[in-house]
Chain A
C-alpha cells in the first residue's frame, strides 16, 4: 500500500497529486497548479544544516550570556542580557508579555537548535536517534514561533531610540544575535525535511533488516 503511493506527492497547499521525479542537485520542484514548492534536491543538506546548527549553538550561548547593550547616565551604568530583560518585565507585572518574549526569543530557538542537533548528529554518524518522528514533528510545529530575526530588528530599533537620550555601549550579545540570525536563516534554508525523513527511514529499515 505504501509502496504504491510512495512516488506520489500531494501539494500541501492545494492537494494536487503529482509524481515525484528525480531532480538535479540544487533544483526544486513546484506545484504545477498553485506554485508551492514541493521539494528540493539538496544532496548535502544534512552536512550543511548540521554545520550551521552547531555553529549557531555556540553563538546562541554567547547571545544569552553576555549583555546586549549598556547605557550610561551620569556615571551610572546599567547593562542587560536578554533573560534579564525578560525577568525585569516579569517584575513589572507584565507576566504574559514576559512569557511570550521568553518563549519566542529564547526557548523556541533553543529547542530548535537542540532538536536539529539531536536528529542530524546521529544521522551523520550513521545512527538513528530514538523517537525521531517526535522530534521531526516538534521541529515542524515550533518553526513559526521562533523569532530571532524579529528580535534582531527590535534590538536595532531600541538602539536607535536609546541613542537619542543616552550614551549606549553595544555589548557582545548584540553581535552574537546578528550572527545567530544569519546562521539560523542558513540552517533553515539548508534543512530539507523530506530528505531527512527519507534518510532516517532508510537507516531504520536497514538496521531492522540486519
Chain B
C-alpha cells in the first residue's frame, strides 16, 4: 500500500485535537465542536490558516526593514560614542576580535529571521498551489522553522542587560534604540506566523479523498 492511498483522519470524518491529540468523530457542522477530553475547539484544518499566516509574514517583512536599518544600541563613554544597527554591531564585534560572538549574533539576528520568512513564504506558496513537490522535505523545513524561531530573541536580551547594567552617568552609557521595538515585533510576528501555519496542508494535495471543514 503506497502512503498516498493511506487514510487520513479528515478523509474519514475524524478530527484530531491539536491540544491533546485525541481523535474524535467530526459532526460535519462547521461551528462549535469541542474536544470531549480537553475542551479545545476542534477543526479538521485550522480555519483561515493560510490567509492569517500570509498577513503575519507580510507584516514581518515590512518590520524587518526598520529592525535592520534603525539604531539597535547606542553606546558611549568618555572616549568613544557609537550608534549600532544590528549589522554594524556584528561588524564591530568581528573587528574587535570577538569572532565567535559576532557569528552567534549574526546567525540569531540576521540569518534566522530571514530564513524563517523565506521558508514560510515558500511553504505558503507551495500550499496555495496545491503542490505535491517533496512533502517530506517541506515538513522538515517547517519543523526547522518552528525549532529555531525563538533564538532571534538573543539580541533583545543582550540590549536589555547591557542597557540596564551600564548606567554610570558620564562614564558610560548604553541605550536601546528604536530598532529593538521593530525587532521584537518581528520575533513575535514570525513566531505567530509559524504557529498559524497548519503543516497538514502540505500533505492534503496528495489525497484522493475529498473533505470539507
Binds B, one of A40-48, A74-82, A121-129: A74-82
The answer, yes or no, to whether A170 is at the interface (CB within 8 Å) is no
Question: Within 8 Å of chain A (Cβ to Cβ): is B154?
Answer: yes
Which residues in window 12-42 of B have CB below 8 A to A?
12, 14, 16, 18-25, 36-40
Q: Which residues of A contact B36 (CB under 8 A)?
A: 2
> When chains A and B are docked, how far (Å) is the Cα of A76 from the Cα of B170?
12
Q: Please state if A78 and B172 are interface contacts (CB–CB under 8 Å).
A: no
Report the minimal beta-carbon distance from A141 to chain B, rounded to whole angstroms: 8
Q: Which size class do B's interface residues fall under? A: 35 or more
B37 touches A133 (CB 8 A): yes
Chain A residues with CB below 8 A from B180, complex form: 94, 97
Chain B residues, Cβ within 8 Å of A87: 164
Name B158's contact: one of A2, A33, A105, A157 (CB within 8 Å): A157
Stretch at the interface among B56-64, B98-106, B114-122, B123-131: B98-106
A68 in contact (CB, < 8 A): yes
* Known A34-B135, A89-B163; contact A153-B154, beta-carbon cutoff 8 A: yes
CA distance A68 to B176 in the complex (A): 19
Beta-carbon contact of A14 and B139 below 8 Å: yes
Specify which chain B residues have a CB less than 8 angstroms from the CB of A80 in the assembled complex.
161, 164-165
Contact yes or no, A97 B160, CB < 8 A: yes
Which of A9, A10, A88 meets B167, CB within 8 Å?
A: A88
Binds B, one of A54-62, A112-120, A143-151, A178-186: A143-151
In B140-195, the 8 Å CB interface with A consists of 140, 142-143, 146, 149-151, 153-168, 171-172, 175-176, 180-181, 184-185, 187-188, 191, 195
B132 within 8 A of A: no
Contact in complex: B136, A35 (CB < 8 Å)? yes
Contact B200 A88, beta carbon cutoff 8 Å: no
Q: What is the CA–CA distance of A1 and B26 in the complex, to the nearest angstrom?
A: 11
Residues of the A chain whose Cβ atoms lie less than 8 Å from the Cβ of B93 = 161
CB-based contact A78/B150 at 8 Å: no
Find out whether the CB atom of A157 lies under 8 angstroms from the CB atom of B199.
no
Contact of B7 with A by CB under 8 A: yes
A68-B161, A166-B166 given; name 8 further pairs at CB < 8 Å. Answer: A2-B36, A13-B143, A14-B8, A35-B136, A78-B168, A97-B181, A157-B154, A193-B21
Q: Which 5 A-B pairs have the closest CB atoms?
A: A154-B157, A10-B16, A10-B9, A85-B164, A88-B164
Which B positions have Cβ atoms within 8 angstroms of A?
3, 6-10, 12, 14, 16, 18-25, 36-40, 77, 93, 96, 98, 100-101, 104-105, 108, 135-136, 139-140, 142-143, 146, 149-151, 153-168, 171-172, 175-176, 180-181, 184-185, 187-188, 191, 195, 199-200, 202-204
* Residue contacts A-B, CB under 8 angstroms, 28 given: A1-B24, A2-B24, A8-B9, A10-B14, A13-B139, A13-B142, A15-B9, A74-B171, A87-B164, A88-B163, A96-B184, A97-B176, A133-B20, A136-B19, A141-B19, A144-B150, A147-B150, A150-B150, A150-B153, A150-B154, A151-B153, A153-B104, A153-B151, A153-B154, A157-B158, A193-B20, A197-B37, A197-B38
